[in-house]
Amino acid sequence: MGNIFWFSLHFTTESIRRVEELTGKTVPAYKVDLLDTEGLRNLFKKHKISCVMHFAGYKAVGESCEKPLLYYKNNVAGTVNLLEVMKEFQVYNMIFSSSTTVYGTPEYLPFDENHKTGNCSNPYGKTKFMIEEIMKDLFHAEKQWNIIFLRYFNPVGAHESGRIGEDPLGTPRNLLPYVAQVAVGKLKELKIYGNDWDTPDGTCLRDFIHVVDLAKGHVSALRLVEKGCGLKIYNLGTGTPYSVLDIVNAFEKASGKKIPYIFADRRAGDLESTYCDRSLAKAELGWTTQYDLDKICVDMWKWQSNNPYGYIKK
């Protein structure tokens, strides 16, 4: 598959060092903002790139409702900038980190790839939808592109070594990192947004996928895109919905810690239930998930308990 390098605005040298430690490989890494055209050009000049996996973007639903312009500028404008530089350097293979949020309010469940998109409930989801539409237009205008959208459901967990995992900037805005920080004593309690949803226990249902399963999905997508695939779309999830309270109970089991929580009003932009039909990815990518919710929580706890302050030692 050729060499891999990483460019991002947010990473730590310690996280890259640990990836190198685990893999025995050198990973060239650069801090570059996708809005920095010259910075991107310099990277494309320095390396012979065959494919871009685009993960960059702000991703918190609640924050996107509070700061929509920040999300549109960073996520959408940054992607257009990246595509223009790719075209300039004749790099036409793209794997895009998309999201279940492009489906918006479900017309039916589980979501399959034919479900209507665009009826998004929050600006974050709208940025993902807009980027998909931009890339579709680009593909239809310029057929040399090979583009795969991987629509993530809820990536969680950590590497089973406990050496690399999610280290949010500031207070976590996603469920599992927040639960983990409560368990380790860094945060006082979990706030659950709504206990009156039309679900078995009144809390939202989500499809949680282990990050290692997600990573393997990208490897499968890379093999396909390098053969030449045109435009493809795949859901990456388990197809099994779990509630917020299911997560709390599973994490208590994995950690042996009590997770105190309180209920709050529903949060703007949230949906009641989302989970996927993953059959297309299985059929065309030969990909399926291996890890269940218990494994997710065990690996997440190993990471958090070994690294209570993330990559920064205190």
Comparing CA positions, the residue from 154, 92, 97 lying closest to residue 128 is 97
Q: Is 124 a catalytic residue?
A: yes
Whether residue 172 contacts residue 63, with contact meaning beta carbons closer than 8 Å, is answered with: no
Block residue for tokens 């990473």: 11
Alpha-carbon separation of residue 272 from 104, 177, 207, 251 (angstroms): 11, 20, 12, 21
φ and ψ of 23, to 5 deg: -95, -20
Q: What is the DSSP letter of 69?
A: H
**Catalytic one of 124, 234, 261, 291:** 124
Contacts of 28 by beta carbon, 8 Å cutoff, 6+ apart: 5, 6, 47
Whether residue 50 contacts residue 91, with contact meaning beta carbons closer than 8 Å, is answered with: yes
Q: How do 241-243 and 205-210 pair as beta strands?
A: antiparallel
CA–CA separation, 44 vs 16, rounded Å? 20
Comparing CA positions, the residue from 51, 58, 55, 87 lying closest to residue 74 is 58
- HSE-CB at 190 with a 13 A cutoff on CA atoms is 25
Catalytic residues: 124
